[in-house]
Each structure stands twice: as C-alpha cells, then as structure tokens.
Amino acid sequence: MRTPIPVWYTVCGETMRRINDTYTTEFIINKSRFISTLCPVRDSEDMKAALESVRQAYPGANHHCHASMIGPGGEQQIASDDGEPSRTAGVPILDVIRHHDVTDVLLVVTRYFGGIKLGAGGLVRAYTKAAASVLHDARFVRPVTLEVHRIVFAYDMIDTVEHLMKDKATILDRDFGEHVTFDISIDPMDMHLVDGIRHRLIDARMTGTKEIFIPD
C-alpha cells in the first residue's frame, strides 16, 4: 500500500528527482526510427536488467545507446554510444538527464537505421531530442524524509485523537490490538497537540524516520 502524502512536509537540502514508472516515446528522423525508453532503476544490477529488457524488446535494432544516473546525487553515471561515433549518443543522453535533475534512471535510445547518415552533428541532435522527448512525458517525484511518531492509547480515546490530528497530522499506520497504536507524521510546530494529551496516552515517542516520494 502506498504511503499517504502527509498534510505537511518539508523538502530539505538538494534532493534530485526520481520516477516511479517506465516511459516510451518514438519518432522518425531521415528514415531512422528512434525509440526512447526511460526506466526507474535503483542500482547497477537494476540498470543491467532494464537494458537487457529493452534489447530483447527491440532485437533487430542497430543501436541501443544509453545513459544512466544512480545514487542520491547521481554519483554513478554511465554513457554508452553502442556503436555510434564517439560522444554522439551516450554523452548527449546523459547531458539531458543531468539537465532534468533526475537520478535512479536508465534512458535507452534505440535506433533502427533508415539508410541515411546523419553525421556527427545530426546524431547529437537526434539523440538529444530523443532523450528530451521521453523525459518531457515523465512524471517526477522527490524523496521526503518524515519523522515518525508512535502514540498508543485506549480505545475510548480514538475520537479524541482523530479529532486532534485532523488536518494537522497524517496517520501512516493503524494497529488495533490490546490498545490502539497510530504511527503518525506531524509538523514539529504541531507537536503541542500530542503534548496536550500525553498524560492520557499509554506511550508516545518518535520511532524513526520514513522516506516517501511526493509529486514534483
């Protein structure tokens, strides 16, 4: 189940964007067919598997030029011309990824050669356009780290707690056992709401943090 977006959040520091889904675009330039595939990946093994999947999807293509950025700050970067002239495909694709401030992605531009040579400049423009087109269609998210607080209380407190938390906190998880347990995300400025009923709670404490992704 997807974690609900909190009623409040703060994006701290420089956080690069991510994607959750795979996107594909396609167009023709001088009879050559260019297919762009943008995939979410988390590590190098993910990247290799995604690249192999694209190759299998288009087995008759002449080139599967690609670039990848992985890591919180895009520390791991790969660019491949896959048989095209040096720096006419992989690097332009990587430059477009950098420009869009997105990480944990693999972008593959598959080319079926149409018989007309584009020249070095033409190839750079074609692969840049192909990479930009699929990124233009993508929906981005940003990671946000939330403090998670756990409050435990008796069943007769449910209405009181839910009323206090309404529009102020997001209930991330509920557990109904011997007592009621809520894991909540709450703005530090509103912690007085918890403090005001702390004497009636069985337990109230911060249990850690949780990373969620919010629409960019």
Task: Find the radius of gyration of the CA atoms of the chain.
Answer: 24
> Between 3.30.230.30, 3.40.50.2300, 3.20.20.140, 2.40.50.100, what CATH number should domain 23-139 receive?
3.30.230.30
Assigned token pair, 139 = 């929906």
For the chain, the domains span 23-139, 142-215
The model's pLDDT over 118-148, given as tens digits with 9 standing for 90+, comes to 999 999 999 999 999 999 999 999 888 888 9
Asked if the 142-215 domain carries CATH number 1.10.10.10, the reply is no
Three state DSSP letters for 46-102: HHHHHHHHHHHHCCCCCEEEEEEEECCCCCEEEEECCCCCCCCCHHHHHHHHHHCCE
Q: Which of 151, 155, 175 is nearest to 165 (CA)?
A: 151
Tens digit of pLDDT for each residue in 59-107? Answer: 999 999 999 999 999 999 999 999 999 999 999 999 999 999 999 999 9
From the list 152, 149, 145, 209, the residue with the least C-alpha distance to 176 is 152
User: Does 8 score more than 90 pLDDT?
Assistant: no
Q: What is the pLDDT of residues 150-206, one digit of tens each?
A: 999 999 999 999 999 888 888 989 999 999 999 999 888 888 999 999 999 999 999
User: What does each C-alpha distance from 182 to 76, 99, 202, 204 come to in angstroms?
Assistant: 38, 41, 12, 10
